[in-house]
Amino acid sequence: MDDQLQRLVRELRSESCPPQVMDRVAQRIAREKGLRLRHAWRWAVALMILLVALGAWQKQAGRNAQRKAAVLEVKARADRARVAEQTAGALGYIGQALLEVAAQSQDSILKEAVPPLREGLETTKNKMIKNI
């Protein structure tokens, strides 16, 4: 059996494939390599599209953040202006109330405090004139 196996191995070593079979094998290998390259190319294009979409999304998010910040800035300015207007109105109201109170105080002083002072001064003047 060993002799037969060795003889078979020698015969197989001396055998060669016909050129047509070799051509078909070469074409098949080239086709499979082409498929691999196509698949790699497809993955590369898909990855590139994904990266571009991600970059565009990030850029849009940055723009939206800037817009929101600008809107918040405008709202803050409007709020400060409204607070300033309300403060001015409140201070004007307080000032008006103080003017009214001052006018009432002035009237009250003129009506209640000045007449006794005048009488006191008249009395003092009359006493001084009598003593001279």
pTM of the model: 0.40
Reported as a pLDDT band with limits 50, 70 and 90, residue 109 is: confident
Rounded Cα–Cα distance for residues 36 and 119 (Å) = 122
Q: Where are the domains of the chain?
A: 2-95
Query: What's the one-letter identity of residue 68?
Result: K
> What is the number of residues in the chain?
132
pLDDT for the residue 35: 66
In this predicted model, what pLDDT tens digit does every residue of 62-72 receive, in sequence order?
A: 899 999 999 99
Mean pLDDT throughout 20-31?
80
Position 128 pLDDT exceeds 90: no
Mean pLDDT throughout 36-47?
82
3-state secondary structure of 1: coil
Query: What's the one-letter identity of residue 110?
Result: L
Contacts of 53 (CB under 8 A, 6+ apart): none
Reported as a pLDDT band with limits 50, 70 and 90, residue 60 is: very high
3-state secondary structure of 15: coil
Q: How far is CA 105 from CA 38, 89, 91, 92, 120, in A?
A: 99, 24, 20, 20, 21
pLDDT for the residue 1: 61
